[in-house]
Amino acid sequence: MGDSKRKVTSFVQEFKDFAMRGNVIDLAVGVIIGGAFNKIVTSIVNDVIMPPIGALIGGMDFKDLVIRLDGISEPITLADAQANSVPVIAYGSFINTVIDFILVAFCVFLLVKGINALHRRKKVEEIKPEPTTKTCPYCVTEIAIKATRCPNCTSELGETQASQ
């Protein structure tokens, strides 16, 4: 009995450690924000982009574009087809979903591109090249960093000067 209690306690502790890691919490926040962002994009597609396209194709709601599969040529809306169990291919809804995806993918692309630009800028600031030259303390001429004698004034450079 004590062994199974120890296993349960160990399992609970392991789950607690996992759930409290920073990256798990960051992921949860990202999923929640992503869900809200998806609702915004869906609204833009359904309420802003598709109505003008529907007006251009004859005043029909774009999501109601369907192909009937029951052999009847009479037009039907998607809502009527679903209410009456009429088999249809709802290609208007599919196109809405594809446009949703393209907009979300484009926004994610812009976000990643911006983050990468910030990382590149940060890396450029952090990386400073190692110096390859130093200044001779006697004649103030630029010389190779490993030089022990100045080629211009022939002064001998000590260890302390060679490491400057």
Q: What is the pLDDT of residue 123?
A: 67
3-state helix vs strand vs coil in the chain, percent to 5: 60, 5, 30
pLDDT in tens, 24-77: 777 888 889 888 888 888 888 888 887 887 788 777 777 888 899 988 888 888
Q: What is the pLDDT of residue 163?
A: 42
Q: Residue 89 pLDDT more than 90?
A: yes
Q: Residue 92 pLDDT more than 70?
A: yes
- In this structure, are residues 29 and 22 in contact, taking their beta carbons and an 8 Å threshold? no
CA gyration radius for the chain? 34
Element of type H or E holding 17: helix 2-19
Q: Residue 88 pLDDT more than 90?
A: yes
Q: Residue 162 pLDDT more than 60?
A: no
Task: Please state which of the ranges 11-20, 27-36, 137-146 shows the lowest mean pLDDT.
Answer: 11-20
Put simply, whether the predicted model's pTM sits higher than 0.85 gets the answer: no
Q: Residue 116 pLDDT more than 90?
A: no
